[in-house]
Amino acid sequence: MNPHHDGSALYVPDQTPALGDTVPVLVRVPAGTDVERVHLRTTPDGEPTFAEATVDRRTDTEVWYRADVQVRNPVTGYRFLLTGRRGRRWLNAAGVVGHDVPDAGDFRLVTYDPPPAWIRDAVVYQVFPDRFARSAAAADRVAPDWAIPCDWDTPVIGRGPETPRQFYGGDLDGVAAHLDHLDRLGVNTLYLTPIFPARSNHRYDAASFDRIDPLLGGDAALARLADAVHARGWRLIGDITSNHTGDAHEWFRAALAGSAAERELYYFDATGDYESWNGVRSLPKLNWGSAELRRRFATAEDSLLRRWLRPPYGLDGWRVDVANMTGRRGADAYTHEVAALLRRAAVQTRPDVLVVGEHGHDHTGDLDRDGWHGTMNYVGFTDPVLSWLKDGDAEVPNFLGTPGGVLRRSAPEVLATMDAYRSMVSWRSYTHSWQLLGSHDSARVRTVVGDAARQEVAAGLLATMPGTPMVFAGDELGLTGTNGEGSRTPMPWHRPESWDRGTLAAYRSLLALRRAEPALRHGGLRRVHVDPDTLVFLREAPTGAVLVLARRAPGVPVRLTGLPAATSVYGGADDLRPDATGTLVLPADGPTFQVWRLAG
């Protein structure tokens, strides 16, 4: 094992530092490692500074070094210089390297107000309202003129002009009627994709932000759902589009009619043409250079961002759609300013609010500022996990916009991808981001991995790796889909015989395990073995540790030294006992997912 440090409480006891604080940080060095001295390197005000670490404690198997970080800047970076008989190496957030590295990969202490404490214990469940469930009242609603009415069993059209027009009629009272399913699954946070009026089934083309779509039951239905969610002690997250509105939005219609107040909210040129999201004319882009937009959207007491966070609705946070493009257009670069503005307005409205920004590719430059608490971690979790577990015969074209779809990769390549993105943000941003196996914008996990066994491995990683797990409604039943639109499958409540009961049981057990083991919610991440088909890692916290084995295929037994006995807590394998040489031998079968709780 290599020397190790991460941002968890085992290594950074002060998890919420303030400017001017002195924060102790610790490095774990396994016995026999070529490390004789450890220096801390920080860059206060941009100038490198070194301080020698001291030995904090020794055990039979390792040495712990301690150093103090002076929190000089709102984001204070640090790394460690390890010196031994064979030379010097760096330990930064990407791991141990023998070459010089830029500061961008340093560990980080962040002093901006922390995310709400509840999110570290959250399991998020994503619902696409049109496809989740209909209440009895839905039968009396007339489909709008843009819609193609569908029966609940009508096949979803995954691509084409009819795709956004298919209307199944799910509503918010239908969601409320199935909260027991979420409870049995083990989730405690409900995230709804947009619920404002629109001219599509996805509703990202909002026609207003001032009311809830009557097709979903209107404002009263949201209030009823919020009451039901909060009565269980859960949280409710909404979805807001900060980058654009729909072309039917009342603001945009007024702008087209010549109103100067609304015209400045968008980008119009001298010919009267306007900027839109990726050239989609129905999604005109908002201009965050407008003070009036900032007032209407966030800063005014009656702004849309604030209104829905207050009673009787009481949303507990926002997922911000297309956060990566918000405020970016040519020379305009308002993104970080807008992120801070939205977060500040939300937190002023209710201090325990969560603000998560959607980002489908490299999110690292937009976190660790006074803005988004985290992101939807497609690039640092979804894509690498699915590429490792991909069924070799599965055809998943254009996954998240990348030509060629999901590539099949080995575990070292997958870990390199994860490390590349994890090392560019603070531990705080990483652990408060949503880790997901898919969403309404991607292929279904079952389609990519091909079978229940590999989906269980994927779900195991979702439940045991750092971050906030997010489950897309229907994944727990084994639903399929080759792209985002095709994955928006109606929940088959009326056909329970179609459910994959084994997958559902696995999700329930894995999420229960996460609730039962504090180390899975609050612990660090230390990898102890990797080969092309196998990942083995530890989640360690001051309260205890667990050992995790994930295999995509059978292999040779993994042999680990320096660890105590361990009790099986998931997967049905035997308990582990060190042999005469002090070695733990992990099983070789696969695909498999196994978890043990370490003694002591």
Active-site residues, by number, are 321, 358
Q: What is the DSSP letter of 297?
A: I
The Cβ of residue 78 has, within 10 Å, a number of other Cβ atoms equal to 25
Q: What is the DSSP letter of 483?
A: S
Closest CA to 34 of 85, 92, 89, 81: 85
Closest CA to 202 of 503, 585, 486, 580: 486
Closest CA to 251 of 204, 286, 289, 301: 286
SS (H, E, C) 23-62: EEEEEEEECCCCCCEEEEEECHHHCCEEEECEEEEECCCE
Helix boundaries (H) for 377-523: 383-389, 411-422, 427-431, 445-449, 452-464, 501-516, 518-522
Contact 83, 36 (CB under 8 A): yes
3-state secondary structure of 190: strand
Identify any residues that bridge with 92 across adjacent strands, giving them in sequence order. 95
Task: Check the CA dihedral 487-374-377-538 and report its sign.
Answer: negative
Output 138-141 pairs: Cβ under 8 A, ≥24 positions apart. Answer: 138/169, 138/170, 138/171, 138/173, 138/174, 141/169, 141/171, 141/214, 141/215
Q: How far apart are CA 455 and CA 389, in angstroms?
A: 8
3-state secondary structure of 354: strand
Using left for φ > 0, alpha for ψ between -120 and 50, and beta otherwise, residue 368 falls in left
CA atoms within 13 A on the CB side of 234: 23
